[in-house]
Amino acid sequence: MLDIGWFSSGRDEAAIDLLKVVSNAINKGIIEGKISFVFVTREKGEKPESDKFIEFAENLGLKIITLSHRNFLPELRKKGLEESSKSGVDSPTIEKWRTLYDETAMDLLSNYNPDIIVLAGYMLIVSPDMCRKYKMINLHPALPGGPKGTWQEVIWQLIEQRAKKSGVMMHLITPELDAGPAITYCEYSIYDDPIKPLWEQWEHKSKNKTLSEIQNTEGEDEPLFKEIRRRGLKREFPLIVATLRSASLGEFSIVDGEVVSHGQKLTRGVDLTEYVESAICDENM
């Protein structure tokens, strides 16, 4: 049975939905495993969204462990963020804060020995020490080798590049942000017939406005942006379930920071597009 740890910041409804989908898959026997604990970077009373997330996890009967990142050495964190903002790169101060935060988190989790930890809506960068201690996987809304950054940054990059396709992947967490090897992924079109009118609207709009101007005036309500997000989002849940199912069946393992399947190191990950598209069709029926 796969022993799963769950890391989240619990900041929105999507965080609840992710946990719900995996919990349901475990209850149905799709994933042969259990969630041993849920670690949250907010405490009760800090934010309504995270309070709702914590309450939902508690109602599932899960063990909740919290450590507020905002209340942890706040002056050191503030100084580190200010320095990083000025320089454009992470400062030694914020790296020190990150290391201290993760050391405290690992102390809180010392009674657990998860086979794998899922980062699901976890908004902090993981320190190298924590990367070395645990086998951690993360959802990233792009194909292997694709754009890096937040899901918003990824979509804007796809639009700017006039990309024809995108994807979602689960990858191993390493000290280098969004650079860990892919474990699984799925691919989908963002330039088929139904979406082409939105691209035409975008091309017309972008002749008169810069990308920054469109971002500032329309933001995430921009129609093409919204449609690309919708297509990616509906594939995230089945990909997470498929990845954990594969892990529970021993179809891949993580060895010395590499993903291994059937004795072979995976360079791109396992393509689960067919499985994911089938899951989406079943859900829509």
225 — phi, psi (to 5°)?
-60, -45
The pLDDT value recorded for residue 124 is 92
The model's pTM: 0.86
Cα separations (Å) of 6 from 60, 136, 228, 245?
Answer: 13, 10, 27, 15
Q: Which tokens sit at 140? A: 């990233």
pLDDT < 70 positions in the chain: 177-179, 282-285
Q: Which tokens sit at 208? A: 């008169």
DSSP secondary-structure letter at 194? G
Q: Which of 96, 150, 148 has its CA nearest to residue 127?
A: 96
Place of tokens 């000290």: 175
Q: Which tokens sit at 122? A: 């976890």
The pLDDT value recorded for residue 9 is 93
Rounded to whole angstroms, how far apart are CA atoms 260 and 239?
18
The pLDDT value recorded for residue 285 is 43
Q: Which domains does the chain have, with CATH numbers?
A: 1-134 (3.40.50.170), 143-168+182-285 (no CATH)
Q: Which tokens sit at 85? A: 């903002």
The pLDDT value recorded for residue 56 is 96
The pLDDT value recorded for residue 12 is 86
Question: What is the tens place of the pLDDT at every residue in 198-248?
Answer: 999 999 999 989 999 999 999 999 999 999 999 998 999 999 999 999 999
